A and B are shown apart, each in its own frame.
Chain A
Amino acid sequence: MMSSVKPLIPDDDAARLASAFSRRGFMGAGVAGGLMATPLFAAGAAHAQDAGAAEITVDQARTAPIPIVLPALGSGVAQQITDVISADLGNCGLFRPISASMPQGTPPFATYKSMGARAVMTGKVVEQGSSLRVEFRLWDVLTGKQLQGTAYTAASQDWRRIAHVIADVIYSRLLGEQGYFNSRIAYIARSGPRARQVTRLAIMDQDGADSRYLTNGQWLTLTPRFNPANSELAFMSYANYRPRVYLFNLNTGQQRLLGDFTGISFAPRFAPNGQSVILSVTRGSGSDIFVVDLATMARRQITSSGAIDTSPSYSPDGSQIVFNSDRGGSQQLYIMSASGGEAKRISYGHGRYGSPVWSPRGDLIAFSRIANGSFSLGVMAPDGTGERILTQGFTVESPTFCPNGRVLAFCRQSSAGANGAGFATGISTIDITGFHERALPAGSASDPAWSGLNK
């Protein structure tokens, strides 16, 4: 199962985390200098060990969210940082933030314990010219030990990123798993009448903040996908009435055509190593799956069934793909070696199956299922067993996993009346257990694509 028992992790690998978080920031000029992290050791004994740590798993936290005291780190931007940390932790459903005033000196653990809290954050924000230094400590309320102490320094405009990094550290320290808050979602922003919607490639933080358009809406634009290396999107554009897959470099804003196929190229996804893109190309009355190497643009065809083979997605180790095909008569899910060969059908429930995506954890494939005119969003094991429906609706499709595989974003659409009124399209998230569905504040949107963790 998904949960293994993990202890709270003490402070002794703060240096490792410091190095992991000090890499240059994403988006080049947009993030001047990136984010630097330095360890803050516990007062008194520098390496206080968390001897009798309690154990909390994600599954336990889902039924009993972890109470955590989150005092405001200060006013102004410090309050904003606190609010983003609190929203990340509260919205993921695994934490119950408790507000309090910032303690002076040693936190009053007995008081927090009597409030039922399990952990407490302390710290402060120091504004240094155009940069911010955020000192952050995380404490185990039961033992009174410091679990983490780190000072983050970044350009002032990157305050949200510091907040997401701190929320990720809290998540990983208390749950023993990597967080996912310092990540983004590419999507298609939609506007205008339904018969001819204006579609723009867009990107936002995973919490819906800092959204912006990347294309101007002149052409129909669909299905953005993130390179796991984070600097590039693949997407489909109908530019010049030739629907094809393009690459969008997020650092430079430049776009380039991916391969020059005779048919429509569509349904791109990056390989886990980011070095190639797998996509579909129409031919006759079907579509074939190809892999295009990004360094050489050399292409390799891996299906040629004559049927519609599309929506390929790699397993995290890159050895297999899942895709949907109507080679057997109706649209179903198949898995196959990433180099081609025999495909094995894995979907056998009622209805048609599409838009499969492989979890970064490797253990699940998420999909849309269509039966009796309505959609379901579900997951199954890669061998087709254990199918679970997470949510249903008029349209629920285009699932995409967050970096740690615990949450899916997807597109939810409502049906329209005869005049088109009532149609709405938006992006929601849901826990892979089927709990905690939430609409993201992305406006009229579709086609979410979650990034990896921001570098």
Chain B
Amino acid sequence: MKLKLFGAAGLALFLAACSDHANKNANTGAATQQQVGPVPGSEADLVATAGDRVLFALNQNTLSSDAKATLDKQAAWLAKYPQVHVQIAGNCDDRGTEEYNIALGERRANAAHDYLVAKGVDASRITTISYGKDRPTAVGDDEASWAQNRNAITAVQ
């Protein structure tokens, strides 16, 4: 099992791999036209199609309208790829204590989980995990970084 936490990084790697792939095919003289883009049903496809993460306010696990819109797209995407399983990782900024943040991250992951289930995604396809404040997306200590780090990130398993 490989956990992809960072959707954007994953996408960049994938695109690099994809263009290599396209070049190889070009060298063989293959006649089919290559479509450069994410493999359907992949993590990169989820990032490109729905967005892999939702953000939260300080100490909150309430889903904003933006978050709900993202999760709606994730639910539709998951409906399109019923074989895909995902793990939702909850994260926190570093303005809380370590242990409390583990539970708060799980609470955020759970909020996203419950929303997807309510939108018809089978609960058996979704696991949750929390990294508390130990896997920040943004490494700075300012309001903008903290806002990015209060999240729930959906990753294809």
Contacts and interface: CB of A to CB of B under 8 A. Distances in A.
Interface of A: 193-197, 199, 220, 222-223, 236, 238, 240-241, 243, 263-264, 266-267, 280, 282, 284-287, 308, 310-311, 324, 326, 330-331, 352, 354-355, 368, 370, 373, 394-395, 397-398, 413, 415-420, 423, 446-447
Contacts of B115: none
B102 A243 contact: yes
Contacts of A416: 139-141
B130 A243 contact: yes
Contacts of B104: 308
A419 B140 contact: yes
Contact of B102 (A194, A264, A324): A264
B99 A311 contact: yes
A308 B103 CA distance: 6
A413 B142 CA distance: 15
A354 B97 contact: yes
A419 B141 CA distance: 9
A326 B97 CA distance: 13
Contacts of A420: 139-140
B100 interface: yes
B1 A419 contact: no
Interface string B124-135: 000001111011
B61 A285 contact: yes
Interface of B: 1, 3, 59, 61, 87, 94-100, 102-104, 106-107, 110-111, 129-132, 134-137, 139-142, 145
B106 A354 contact: no
Contacts, number: 117
Contacts of B98: 222-223, 355, 397-398, 446-447
A395 B106 contact: no
Given A354-B97, A368-B97, A423 B141 contact: yes
A284 B110 contact: yes
Contacts of A194: 136, 139
B107 A354 contact: no
Contacts of A238: 129, 131
Given A195-B137, A220-B134, A282-B107, 4 more contacts: A310-B103, A324-B100, A354-B97, A418-B142
Given A241-B129, A266-B102, A287-B106, A331 B139 contact: no
Contact of A418 (B102, B107, B135, B145): B145
A373 B58 CA distance: 11
25 contacts: A195-B135, A195-B136, A195-B137, A199-B134, A222-B134, A238-B131, A240-B1, A241-B129, A243-B102, A243-B129, A264-B102, A264-B106, A264-B130, A266-B102, A266-B103, A282-B106, A285-B61, A286-B103, A308-B103, A352-B59, A370-B95, A370-B97, A413-B94, A419-B139, A447-B98
A62 B132 CA distance: 39
Identify the interface centre among A197, A286, A416: most chain B CB within 10 Å of its CB.
A416
Nearest to B133: A395
A266 B106 CA distance: 12
Given A264-B130, A308-B107, A331 B96 contact: yes
Contacts of B100: 308, 310-311, 324, 326, 331, 354-355
A29 to B, nearest CB: 34
Contact of B103 (A223, A282, A446): A282
A248 B97 CA distance: 24
Contacts of A240: 1
A285 B136 contact: no
A241 B106 CA distance: 14
Given A418-B142, A418-B145, A420-B140, A280 B103 contact: yes
Contact of B99 (A330, A354, A413, A419): A354
* Closest CB pairs A-B (n = 3): A420-B139, A354-B97, A415-B141
Nearest to B87: A241
Contacts of B106: 263-264, 282, 285, 287
Nearest to B137: A195
A391 to B, nearest CB: 16
Nearest to A243: B129
Contacts of A394: 141
Contacts of A373: 95
A309 B135 CA distance: 22
Given A352-B96, A419-B139, A285 B107 contact: yes
A111 B103 CA distance: 62
